[in-house]
Amino acid sequence: MDSELETETIIEGNGEEIEERMQKLNGEDVVKRYAKGKLLGKGGFAKCYELKCLSNKKIYAGKIISKSNITKQSAKNKLKSEIKIHRSMSHQNIVKFEHYFEDAENVYILLELCKSKTLNELIKKRKIISELEVKYYLFQILSAVKYMHANKVIHRDLKLGNLFLSSTLQIKIGDFGLATRIEYEGERKHTVCGTPNYIAPEILEGKNNGHSYQVDYWAIGVIIYTLLIGRPPFETDDVKETYKKITDINYSFPNNVFISENAKDFIKNILKKNPNDRLTPDQMLQHDFMKVTKLPKEMPHYTLSNPPKIDFFRKYQSDEQENKIINPNQLSFENDKENLKIMKNFALQTLKKCDINIGYVDLKETIKNYNENKKKLNLSSNKENHKLLKTINIENLNINNLSYVDVLYDYSEKFGILYKLKYLIGCVFNDKSILFKILDKNYVYYVNKKKGINKPKLFENKNIITEIKQKYEILCNFEKYIKLENEKNKTNIKIENELIYVKKIIKSDLAILLKLSNKMIQLTFKDNTKIIIDNDNTKKVYFFDKNNKKSVYSIHLVNKSNNKRFLNRYEHYKKIFFEKMDERFQRIQQQKELEKENLTEGSEISPLDLNKTL
């Protein structure tokens, strides 16, 4: 979370403004206004929004607590304690407390904004992460915990959801709602608090003995296990059973997930029932798990959704790992039993629950509305430059022949992303494999580069191989859903000769980017807008706004547009492009070091080749 972001950052809200009223020493009243943006999260008593200061353009994470929820004195005291403790913290790995204010209805706490969300979102996308990444994040967590404990503060709610990530993937510990301060040497706290999967056994076993700093050590052990294994060590469907497993220290390491002996020993020496037997932060840093390899100074941004490249691991391998380095967390999707179970359960459903897709909108009405209304395109009119395309009718633009994804459902937290593109439906799965089919046809196409299938391979329905059986069931149920929707909307599907499908998907906070097999790029945004870029053929950029008004621009003259919303979204596309350029540059540099030879000239990419980079 970065306290100051680019002014181009998209803040989607309802236009609501919040006023902070202050009084100078001379008695003069000052009013500071904030634009309330998108919801970042919510807890028991508070909701967190993006707040943009209209005077200095800084963007904060604004924690808003309704006074109607804190009428009891105990709740007021808890909030005062949170503010007092958090504002006293000043460390590079702790979310920065900016300031707070209140009005008649709410209390507002302004905090540093972390752009890359939390480790909880990361693990949902990645399922598990590598030991090298765990060490990178753990080093920063320990740095912050040592600082807190040196200042006699126990956090008491360390968990993945409270470990925020800055834009540069630096850990920022946040949420001091359960934090407490030790007032004297040897003091024990007796409040029963925490999050079920992370709570220490001494908290559960009664108030008599109390607890101290060691509850944070315990939580660190749970965090490390969860990042490496993909689920908390004591997690069950029943909270009471979870608590029993915690008090019995009843957990194990699954056989189907790689984890080194050093990592196992590290976790075992933290998850000890006796608090005094647990590794301290200093001891954790001296353990072989942390010492056997050097740590990265920074983590590539693409690791938010994908494992680090093999070359990245090689840079940090120890001598005994020479020529043996692999990425143990790039597991085969087909061999991941947990994912297969999720897919199978999903395939048994009717898929009507697609309506609850995670934030992304169904755009299937786009063509329909245009056929009905025959509206003219809303083009940027710049008289000074005759090269801009003039306003033209939809028939002239032939928008109905434009290939784009009009239905998109994000199930990436389970298995992948489903889509419909004209007469074709498909899914890009989390393991990067692709399955698609033409509606009502008795065959499917499969692409999986990891399995050596680089081009679409056709399988008849009766000859589906085991490897894609579960994926095929998902696609069949999605087809039933799409056909049902087509019947409702009386949509006729016209099959064309050209087979166009989604080859690649890149997710960001604001949009899903799709690269099509015909080299076109599409961005579908959360607010029902989308951009389609055709670098290869027409050299045009198409923009569909949230009201389904269409604009088209020459790709050479995009910046001449007066449509701020379009330019904002096109900037987001360029941001993704430059991130991919950076990743590509790093790969080239790594390859250069590995091969110890010069690269050939001519590797520079022109602006017209953005989609090739993506």
| Bridging pattern class, strands 424-429 and 550-554 | unpaired
Report DSSP letters for 261-324, one per residue: HHHHHHHHTTS-SSGGGSPPHHHHHHSHHHHSS---SS--GGGGTSPPPHHHHHTT--GGGTTT
Measuring CA to CA, how many Å separate 126 from each of 43, 122, 226, 302? 24, 6, 12, 11
Give the number of residues written for the chain.
614
| Residue pointed to by tokens 């540093």 | 112
Instruction: Indicate the residue type of 448.
Output: N
What residues contact 577, with CB distance under 8 A and at least 6 apart? 610, 613, 614
What residues contact 113, with CB distance under 8 A and at least 6 apart? 1, 2, 3, 5, 50, 59, 60, 61
d(CA 111, CA 474): 42
d(CA 212, CA 153): 10
Full strand arrangement of the beta sheet holding 407-411: 407-411, 416-421, 424-429, 434-438, 443-448, 453-460
Is 311 designated active site? Answer: no
Measuring CA to CA, how many Å separate 76 from each of 67, 73, 79, 106? 9, 5, 5, 12
Q: DSSP letter at 382?
A: -
Q: DSSP letter at 425?
A: E
SS3 label, residue 232: coil
d(CA 234, CA 201): 11
What residues contact 137, with CB distance under 8 A and at least 6 apart? 119, 163, 171, 227
What residues contact 184, with CB distance under 8 A and at least 6 apart? none
Q: 506 - beta bridge partners?
A: 513
Q: Burial, 325: exposed, middle or buried (Cβ in 10 Å; 0-12, 13-18, 19+)? A: middle
Quick check: 356 and 482 in contact, CB under 8 A?
no
Q: DSSP letter at 237?
A: S
H helices present in 21-152, as ranges: 73-87, 119-126, 131-150
What residues contact 69, with CB distance under 8 A and at least 6 apart? 45, 75
d(CA 284, CA 362): 48
d(CA 402, CA 412): 26
Q: Which of 2, 157, 216, 545 is catalytic?
A: 157
d(CA 6, CA 367): 35
Which residues are tagged catalytic?
157
